[in-house]
């Protein structure tokens, strides 16, 4: 079975045709439980997310701030496995027909086996993978198997990336480019800042891929601001925080569905 990289591209193109940015949500698998995590992904789709990134919990998530680290710890203590991540992708895709990616650090994929992981992600209906710590110059094996299985490979660029480096990263990637809005880790912030706009402009000189901005976006106002210059708005910590702050799982699902609705309105007010 081939993966859904084309569905990802079509979804981003459809948002652009509507003169808006796509809303991309992030939630870790296995949080607060495996079933609860699947329900949360479905809830954000119901609220208005166009695309969801499912996080593969990791014991040392170097790109992630304390909110996502807390959720990852809960998932890992609950015994989450790669099979649970793939099940989350499968059930979310089958229920919604929308693109679901996995966001993961490289070590779990390497240990699991690149061929096995890409084949099983494609079989689950996955659209691709975001690999924040895989250097482009070491990505040939991954990209070979991902391409064979119809999976997009999304790389992360940062404000510190020099123009020559930007060009190499975007040439190797597919699906979209993940533009980290600032230096640092994930988390909610009071503003997104000028660095994000500048990075998007620089990245667009190197590629025709959509450029989507993450790190720090947490409110409808942020979403509207970023949607004014980016092709997609990526929100993670704000969703996870809603789940963490909720008194129970049912309330958490209501909270993330509502946040998705607010952000979906935001990306339409660019």
**Residues assigned a catalytic role:** 53, 64
Non-local CB neighbours of 3 within 8 Å, separated by 6+ positions: 118, 121, 122, 125, 126, 127, 128, 146, 149, 150, 151, 152
**48 within 8 A of 261, measured Cβ to Cβ:** yes
Return d(Cα 16, Cα 267) in angstroms, integer: 11
**Alpha carbon distances (Å) from 89 to 228, 248, 251:** 30, 23, 22
Q: Kindly give, in sequence order, each residue whose CB lies less than 8 Å from that of residue 207, ignoring residues fewer than 6 positions away.
A: 170, 171, 173, 177
Distance CA 225, CA 213 (A): 11
């Amino acid at each position: 079975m081939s993966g859904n990289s084309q569905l990802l591209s079509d979804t981003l193109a459809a948002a652009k045709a509507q003169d808006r940015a796509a809303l991309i949500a992030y939630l870790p698998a296995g949080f607060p439980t495996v079933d609860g995590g699947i329900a949360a992904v479905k809830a954000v789709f119901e609220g208005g997310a166009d695309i969801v990134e499912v996080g593969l919990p990791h014991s040392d998530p170097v790109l992630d701030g304390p909110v996502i680290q807390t959720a990852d710890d809960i998932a890992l203590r609950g015994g989450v496995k790669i099979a649970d991540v793939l099940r989350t992708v499968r059930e979310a895709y089958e229920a919604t027909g929308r693109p679901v990616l996995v966001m993961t650090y490289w070590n779990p994929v390497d240990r699991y086996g690149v061929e096995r992981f890409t084949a099983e992600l494609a079989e689950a209906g996955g659209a691709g993978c975001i690999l924040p710590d895989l250097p482009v110059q070491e990505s040939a094996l991954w990209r070979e198997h991902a391409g064979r299985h119809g999976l997009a490979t999304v790389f992360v660029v940062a404000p510190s990336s020099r123009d020559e480096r930007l060009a190499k990263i975007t040439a190797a990637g597919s699906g979209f480019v993940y533009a980290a809005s600032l230096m640092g880790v994930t988390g909610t912030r009071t503003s997104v800042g000028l660095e994000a706009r500048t990075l998007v402009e620089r990245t667009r000189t190197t590629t025709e891929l959509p450029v989507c901005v993450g790190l720090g976006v947490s409110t409808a106002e942020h979403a509207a601001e970023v949607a004014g210059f980016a092709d997609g708005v990526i929100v993670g910590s704000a969703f996870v925080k809603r789940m963490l702050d909720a008194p129970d799982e049912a309330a958490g699902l209501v909270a993330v569905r509502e946040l998705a609705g607010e952000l979906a309105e935001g990306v339409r007010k660019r």
